[in-house]
Chains A and B, each alone.
Chain A
Amino acid sequence: MKKTIALTLALLLALLLIGCTAKPQTPATTDTPPKDDAPTATAPAAADEGLNMDELYTVQVFSMTSNYAGIQPGWFAKILKDKFNMEHNIIATNLEGGDSKLATMMASGDLGDLVVFGDNSVDTIKNAIDAGLLLDWNDNDLLQTYGQTFLQEFPEALEYNKAMFGNGEKVYGIGYNVSYDSKGPNEGTDMIWGPYIRWDLYEALGCPEFTTLEEFLPVLKQMQEMCPTSDTGKPTYAFSMWSDWDNTHMMFAKQYGAMHGYNDGDTGNLLFINGAEPKYESFLEENGMYYRSLKLFYDANQMGLVDPDSISQKNADVTAKIADGQVLFSYFSWVTGYNTPTHTAEGKGMYMVPFKNEKVYSYAQSTYGGIRTTCIGAKAKDPVRLMDFLNWVYSDEGTMTYYNGPEGMAWNYGEEGKPELTELGVQIYNNSTTVIPDEWGGGEYEDGRPKFSPGTVTNTTVSKVTGEPFLNKLWTSVLDMDTNPALENWREHMGVRTAKDYFVKNNLLSIYKVPFLPDGARMMSQDLEQKKATIGQIVQEYSWRMVFASSEAEFDSLWSEMRDKAYGLGYQELLDWTVEGAEAEFAAREAGLNQ
Chain B
Amino acid sequence: MAEKIKVNLRKRNKLTAGDIAFNTVNYLIFGLFTLACVFPFYYLFINTISDNQVSALGDVMFWPVGVHLNNYVEVMKIRGIGRAALLSVGRTILGTGLMVFASAACGYLFTKEKMWMRKFWYRFVVVTMYFNAGIIPWYITMNALKLTNNFLAYILPAIVSPYNIILVKTFVESVPASLEESAQLDGAGYGTILVRIMIPLIKPILATIAIFGAVSQWNAFTDTLFLMSDAKYFTLQFLLYRYLNEAASLAALLKSDPTLMANMDLSKIQTPESVRMTVSMVVVLPILFVYPFFQRYFVKGIMIGAVKG
Q: Are B152 and A19 interface neighbours, CB within 8 A?
A: yes
Give the residues in chain A near B250, CB-CB below 8 Å.
67
Interface residues of A, Cβ cutoff 8 Å to B: 1-5, 8, 12, 15-16, 18-24, 26, 28-29, 31-32, 60, 65, 67-71, 91-92, 94-97, 100-101, 103-104, 107-108, 118-119, 177, 186-192, 232, 234, 245, 266, 315-317, 319-321, 323-324, 332-337, 339-340, 363, 431-433, 446, 454-455, 458-459, 471, 473
Give the residues in chain B near A363, CB-CB below 8 Å.
258-259
> Which of A60, A334, A363 has the most B CB atoms < 10 Å from its CB?
A334
Q: Are A23 and B255 interface neighbours, CB within 8 A?
A: no
Please measure, in the bound complex, the distance between the C-alpha atom of A471 and the C-alpha atom of B222, giving whole angstroms.
Answer: 39
Q: Are B230 and A316 interface neighbours, CB within 8 A?
A: no
Q: Are A334 and B264 interface neighbours, CB within 8 A?
A: yes
> Which of A95, A119, A455 has the most B CB atoms < 10 Å from its CB?
A95
**CB < 8 Å neighbour of B149 from A21, A23, A232:** A23
Q: Are B139 and A104 interface neighbours, CB within 8 A?
A: yes
Q: Are B226 and A104 interface neighbours, CB within 8 A?
A: yes
Q: Mark B179-216, 1 if CB is under 8 A from A, else 0.
A: 00000000011111111000000000000000000000
Q: Are B246 and A177 interface neighbours, CB within 8 A?
A: no
The residue in chain B whose Cβ has the minimal distance to the Cβ of A28 is: B230
Please measure, in the bound complex, the distance between the C-alpha atom of A65 and the C-alpha atom of B105, giving whole angstroms.
Answer: 48
Closest CB-CB distance, B83 to chain A, in whole Å?
13
Give the residues in chain B near A26, CB-CB below 8 Å.
149-150
**CB < 8 Å neighbour of B253 from A8, A94, A324:** A94
Q: Are A100 and B226 interface neighbours, CB within 8 A?
A: yes
Is B136 close to A, CB under 8 A?
Answer: yes
Closest CB-CB distance, B302 to chain A, in whole Å?
23
Closest CB-CB distance, B273 to chain A, in whole Å?
6
Please measure, in the bound complex, the distance between the C-alpha atom of A112 and the C-alpha atom of B140, giving whole angstroms.
Answer: 17
**CB < 8 Å neighbour of B225 from A16, A21, A101:** A101
Q: Are A97 and B226 interface neighbours, CB within 8 A?
A: yes
Q: Are B191 and A96 interface neighbours, CB within 8 A?
A: no
Give the residues in chain B near A15, CB-CB below 8 Å.
152, 155-156
Closest CB-CB distance, A483 to chain B, in whole Å?
15
Tell me the chain B residues, 266-308 only, with Cβ under 8 Å from chain A: 266-269, 271-273
The residue in chain A whose Cβ has the minimal distance to the Cβ of B274 is: A316
Give the residues in chain A near B145, CB-CB below 8 Å.
19-20
Please measure, in the bound complex, the distance between the C-alpha atom of A100 and the C-alpha atom of B225, giving whole angstroms.
Answer: 10
Q: Mark B124-148, 1 if CB is under 8 A from A, else 0.
A: 0000000000011001100101111
Please measure, in the bound complex, the distance between the C-alpha atom of A81 and the C-alpha atom of B241, giving whole angstroms.
Answer: 29
**CB < 8 Å neighbour of A187 from B53, B140, B262:** B262
Please measure, in the bound complex, the distance between the C-alpha atom of A372 and the C-alpha atom of B271, giving whole angstroms.
Answer: 26
**CB < 8 Å neighbour of A23 from B146, B190, B251, B259:** B146
Closest CB-CB distance, A269 to chain B, in whole Å?
16
User: Could you list 21 examples of A-B contacts with CB < 8 Å?
Assistant: A1-B192, A4-B191, A4-B192, A4-B195, A5-B191, A8-B105, A70-B79, A94-B253, A95-B242, A95-B246, A96-B242, A101-B226, A104-B226, A316-B271, A317-B58, A319-B251, A320-B53, A333-B262, A334-B254, A334-B264, A339-B267
